[in-house]
């Protein structure tokens, strides 16, 4: 560790704001929404007090927020915003345009469950709804990881082989308001880590280099549609390149600041494990506690935590999954089309590449702000062990709803 850190006690929203401040964005555009509001209030304060030299744009809605940032990014600015839930829904049109324009933006999603019923509490339905909009998605477990990942996200987004926007996801309530000890890196060390920015070398609002941004592309003539397909292929290449860039940036971070995170998939106590719980986001801590307790009872369980969900880390996931014989996947959201959790559906897709058919159970919990406790994960472990003993079934077993009541409340 070659730099001095300052210690602070703060919640995940303040940790994100501190990470943003250290990344020195030029333009921050915001519209407040629970549970993101305090994050942008911290940023407003940093800018008002002169700690962050950035243009703050208070706009009339999230659609305007991201549209304004597109202009700022095209003009060469490093940008930041944060939103969640219905705000993300209102942002959708510029949201889905951003990766196609290859704008290396960074935005936090303070994950909130989605309407309806009306809900202001945590849940990952917002991000899972946009999981194939073309943004890179990383999920954090702790306030410290939020702070560190925000900074790393700029290096990842602005890498010339990537040039894609990054969402850093941190769970509403549990990470947004959960207070913890964090180490704050020194500004010069962060400056050295990020290096000089260059965000519009490819597409720019520049009178000296006029160009039409986003012209009509496609149509019935084969040539136009082939040009469109070439942009899509390039976007997919950028996503795949992000896998090694994310790994490299995390390795550089560990070297510079002494904190090492699994960049794509974290393997926790998988050696000799029969089964693993697959987690994403802040629930992972309780899952690890449950695994520690199970190990003491002689149950060989582990955790596979997905940090990077988009691009899907196929190789890293298969490496982890190959160590166990059954998986219990816990989702904080619902795939309405598959009657299971979206992460579970992705896991099933990835397992096909291993050529192994192992039992996989889908657990859905933590919706609408519900806590996922060690006790819930003990049930996940028990259920997954039972599925292992029953052997692989050609049919996916019934989804288990944690935190539900009455029928379907799980075993």
CA pair distance 29, 25, nearest whole angstrom = 11
Nearer to another protein, 213 or 251 (CB): 213
Is the alpha carbon torsion for 255, 145, 364, 308 positive or negative? negative
CA 388 vs. chain centroid, Å, equals: 30
| Cβ atoms within 10 Å, residue 187 | 12
CA 89 vs. chain centroid, Å, equals: 17
Q: How far is the CB of 94 from another protein (least distance, A)?
A: 15
CB 309 within 8 A of CB 279: no
| Cβ atoms within 10 Å, residue 317 | 22
Q: Which stretch binds another protein (CB under 8 A): 210-218, 333-341, 374-382, 391-399?
A: 210-218
List 89, 120, 177, 197, residue binding another protein (CB under 8 A): 197
Would you give the DSSP letter of residue 112? B
List 58, 187, 198, 240, residue binding another protein (CB under 8 A): 198
Q: How far is the CB of 217 from another protein (least distance, A)?
A: 6
What tokens does 101 get? Answer: 């324009």
* Window 162 to 191, contacts with another protein (CB under 8 A): 163
Binding mask 111-150 for another protein (x = CB under 8 A): ----------------------------------------
Task: Check residue 240 for interaction with another protein (CB under 8 A).
Answer: no
Q: How far is the CB of 48 from another protein (least distance, A)?
A: 23
Task: Check residue 196 for interaction with another protein (CB under 8 A).
Answer: yes
Nearer to another protein, 238 or 302 (CB): 238
List 129, 203, 354, 396, residue binding another protein (CB under 8 A): 203
CA pair distance 120, 128, nearest whole angstrom = 16
Would you give the DSSP letter of residue 161? T
Would you give the DSSP letter of residue 227? H
Task: Check residue 71 for interaction with another protein (CB under 8 A).
Answer: no
* Interface contacts to another protein, rule CB under 8 A: 76, 100-102, 163, 196-204, 206, 209-215, 217, 230-231, 233-234
């Amino acid at each position: 560790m070659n730099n001095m850190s300052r210690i602070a006690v703060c919640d995940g929203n303040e940790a994100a704001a501190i990470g943003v401040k250290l990344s020195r964005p030029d333009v921050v555009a915001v519209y407040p929404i629970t549970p993101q509001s305090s994050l942008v209030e911290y940023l407003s304060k940093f800018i008002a007090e002169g700690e962050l030299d950035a243009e703050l744009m208070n706009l009339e809605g999230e659609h305007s927020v991201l549209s304004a940032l597109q202009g700022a990014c095209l003009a060469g600015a490093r940008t930041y915003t944060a939103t969640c839930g219905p705000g993300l829904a209102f942002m959708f049109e510029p949201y889905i345009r951003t990766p196609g324009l290859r704008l290396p933006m960074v935005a936090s999603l303070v994950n909130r469950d989605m309407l309806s019923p009306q809900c202001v509490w945590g849940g990952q339905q917002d991000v899972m709804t946009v999981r194939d909009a073309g943004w890179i998605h990383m999920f954090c477990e702790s306030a410290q990881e939020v702070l560190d990942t925000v900074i790393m996200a700029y290096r990842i987004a602005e890498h010339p082989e990537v040039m894609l926007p990054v969402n850093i996801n941190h769970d509403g309530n549990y990470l947004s308001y959960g207070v913890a000890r964090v180490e704050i890196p020194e500004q010069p060390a962060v400056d050295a880590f990020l290096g000089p920015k260059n965000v519009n070398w490819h597409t720019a609002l520049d009178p000296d280099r006029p160009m039409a941004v986003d012209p009509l592309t496609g149509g019935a003539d084969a040539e136009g549609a082939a040009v469109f397909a070439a942009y899509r292929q390039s976007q997919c290449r950028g996503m795949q390149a992000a896998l090694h860039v994310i790994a490299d940036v995390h390795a550089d971070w560990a070297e510079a600041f002494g904190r090492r995170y699994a960049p794509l998939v974290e393997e926790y106590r998988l050696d000799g494990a029969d089964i693993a719980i697959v987690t994403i986001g802040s629930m992972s801590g309780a899952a690890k506690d449950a695994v520690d307790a199970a190990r003491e009872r002689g149950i060989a369980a582990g955790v596979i935590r997905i940090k990077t969900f988009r691009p899907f880390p196929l190789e890293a996931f298969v490496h982890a999954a190959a160590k166990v014989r059954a998986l219990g996947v816990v989702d904080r959201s619902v795939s309405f089309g598959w009657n299971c959790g979206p992460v579970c559906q992705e896991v099933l897709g990835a397992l096909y590449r291993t050529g192994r058919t192992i039992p996989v159970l889908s657990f859905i919990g933590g919706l609408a702000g519900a806590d996922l406790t060690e006790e819930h994960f003990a049930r996940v472990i028990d259920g997954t062990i039972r599925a292992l003993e029953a052997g692989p079934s050609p049919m996916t077993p019934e989804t288990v709803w944690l935190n539900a009541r009455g029928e379907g409340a799980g075993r």
